[in-house]
Structure 1
């Protein structure tokens, strides 16, 4: 074998060795880049090892000798520089992480007792108004019998009067009473000054006046000129979670401030005066309600906050025509405006829920539940086993409390069935529907207030709020309790005067 052949073998061997080493170096590089916290500790340790190794070896040339001499003379300086770089990098990493979002407190609006409307009174007013024939009043009576609503829900003052006033001024008066009542309660509970609020988000689907509702609040409470205000409309009963999601995103940018989220709905703007069955149903279900929520990204608020936000998962099925059209506000054949509920509403809601929990599951479910779901899904996909249904994970293992949007008895029943919940888990939803009716986007907060009033909320409990809305959307918010929430008569809880009577047997 010639000398040239030997050199070729050596070169080829070195090349093959390099090809083996390069992937490992690439893997290490990408791992360190994707895990900066680890690299922050590895780099200083590597520098220290290099310095120590330099002490032990003999310098081979003048440059190494000068380097070692400098290191020996400035050993303390090198260590301090390494320490500074480590602390600076650690600080930068911490600053880049999302800051925790705390729910300091919230306030649900409780209308005055003169606005209560029993089912019988509701039908009596409908007869007196003359909008509906006796047969249609009987039809509404049957809906109310199976609706799950009790006899202490609230409707606007204009809907107690004959004739009814559907003017813009009347609608504004209804919404302002709810919003101002909620905010006054919130400010008195939290002792937060209006000038300290940096972000304001208001959501109301049907009533969007000019100036906007957010501007009405800014004017009423004289909020600061730099307030970041938003007004969300037309997004249905799930908008409360969307508003919280928007607030969370803004609080990640604007540090050391408060955000207020106001969720409500205008009832008389959604009132339908015609005879189309799919539109009459909404008249029977929706009632006055609203809530104001105070969120904070200030670390000092952790001690007094009730909850911390863990996850928000939003699902939008609007690309499907059936989902998009299942809840719409439109005119009937006579030109009368109302909210139409399609017969496909429940199947669409079930599909939206399935998509939502598929996304949420990996964040909250135990590994055992995720594995069972994955195995059954893969078997059904590749082996087409007709007798094997896809496993529905047991979310009771992940959450302590469930706040399901009180959209109606059928919605709650479907949720209870699909998620395999017990009657105790859906009790807050059923009782909220019974006592306050469908208050749209604020209903999940009345349910949370029910759990608190019952004394069931304890530290580290996980709460799942599930909201459904037009479009069609299913949105989830997950909170963790930071303290034991004790029921208190001074807490202005909307359930204070009636919690001892609940639960009751709903219709």
Structure 2
């Protein structure tokens, strides 16, 4: 509804956002007017002054140039995202809800879950989760889980991860034309599957990366590890100049399927699907011309010092000795608190001054006048054009849409990623960015906020700015199905 204060708020935001420009304009006019009044005699006197003080001016100029040179040499190097690639599994790995339930039923009747009459409630529970999850009928399940009986072997797990990682990296190298020998930094993250040799070693061996490669393998860091990997690569790119960093984010489904009777542990079976992404970062100045994005900020928040945060998502054995991930009842509260801290840290870095002032005034009013007054949630739509919210589940996307006052368009990429690919863990934010590119919505100067939450408990953010009108790269995972999206998701 229109309010007389609406125009006042718009004018206020404009004045506070452009205050430097508005102050500079009259100053420029005044200087120009004063310069126009200078006479020939005034100019002659000025030139004489320059001649008399040439030595001082030379020293000043040299000092200024030297200082500027030192600043340029020692300032943080810009980090560019040259390109990224998301893995698209083969079509024979697609699994509809009906196919999954039939498979589960056969496994249960074979005795894996006990007697059918005794455990019918588990079937009902899994069915309800799948129907309300927001996942579509074409998500991907690894080959070992299509088999009867299910093959949860180390061989099957390695095969799944190898196909995902190499599929994404192969496509990235094709699209960028970068030689594997140019890669100086390698960061791989996978939360629960960390074999020996490591996943990063698989890449080193496959592409014969150079012997002095700076290689890291991140494990046990949950769905937000993709942003952590970007932050680690950024830090290394500040130390090692003129090189490329390859970041790979994935998760393994084969090994992590839970086949017990614990409802809390069964939830992850319903949400997680096959997926992975490879990202090429650069600190080379020449890559600015062809790079898609520039990394502006990374913000990491870890509340694991709190016991409830530490234990809200834990991989452990159930009462029958079967391994799964337990989700505690404290998870929503912990997630909300950690998200709030991340937002409070990121806000001052990205929000326009108008939102900062409103937030500060509201804080003072709450502290000194009305303690019951609600905290002001800044309008992050003024800071970002695009939002890539981790597709962890329907409830997570709903909650962030509500709390951040976003529109359905802002969370479209997240909802459609969850529908098409499911929860692919740390790589989901890249499928979302690929969706935005495929839709042709990424324009030069647009700012994107990638935000992900994970066990521990962690909430991490990445902020990117588009360096040009970004088009989808070859073999974008959405290119064969984009015409179907967005789709309506039943409530």
Q: TM-score range by the shorter chain?
A: 0.7 to 0.9
Give the whole-Å Cα distance in 1 for the aligned partners of 2:92 and 2:121.
28
Match of 1:149 among 135, 141, 157: 135
Match of 1:318 among 288, 304, 317: 304
2:478 alignment counterpart: 495
1:8 alignment counterpart: none
Offset at residue 138 of structure 1 (A) = 2.0
Offset at residue 84 of structure 1 (A) = 4.2
Conserved 8 A contact 2:434-2:472: no
1:113 alignment counterpart: 91
Give the whole-Å Cα distance in 1 for the aligned partners of 2:67 and 2:383.
35
Say which is worse superposed, 120-129 or 248-257, in terms of deviation: 120-129
1:185 alignment counterpart: 171
1:401 is aligned to 2:386: yes
The answer for unaligned runs of 5 or more in structure 2 is: 1-48, 114-118
Give the whole-Å Cα distance in 2 for the aligned partners of 1:486 and 1:111.
22
- In the superposition, the TM-score normalised over structure 1's length comes to 0.83
2:412 alignment counterpart: 427
1:68-118 C-alpha deviation (Å, 9 max, x unpaired): xxxxxxx77x87666544333221111111111000000000000000011
Conserved 8 A contact 2:153-2:255: no
1:466 alignment counterpart: 451
Give the whole-Å Cα distance in 1 for the aligned partners of 2:360 and 2:266.
43
Match of 1:298 among 265, 272, 284: 284
The answer for unaligned runs of 5 or more in structure 1 is: 1-51, 57-74
Give the whole-Å Cα distance in 2 for the aligned partners of 1:293 and 1:405.
17
Task: Give the secondary-structure state (helix, strand or coil) at the position aligned to 1:268.
Answer: coil
Offset at residue 324 of structure 1 (A) = 1.3
| Structure having the higher Rg | 1
1:125 alignment counterpart: 103
2:45 alignment counterpart: none
Give the whole-Å Cα distance in 2 for the aligned partners of 1:453 and 1:53.
59
Q: Is the alpha carbon distance of 1:382 and 1:319 closer, same or farther for their aligned partners in structure 2, counting shifts above 3 Å? A: farther
Match of 2:400 among 415, 418, 421: 415
Offset at residue 374 of structure 1 (A) = 1.5
Give the whole-Å Cα distance in 2 for the aligned partners of 1:120 and 1:134.
16
Give the total of aligned pairs: 436
Give the whole-Å Cα distance in 2 for the aligned partners of 1:197 and 1:180.
15
Give the whole-Å Cα distance in 1 for the aligned partners of 2:399 and 2:270.
20
Conserved 8 A contact 1:127-1:134: no
1:101 alignment counterpart: 79
Offset at residue 134 of structure 1 (A) = 3.3
Offset at residue 164 of structure 1 (A) = 1.3
2:10 alignment counterpart: none
2:248 alignment counterpart: 262
Q: How does 1:360-399 map to 2 (within 5 A)?
A: 360-386=346-372, 388-399=373-384
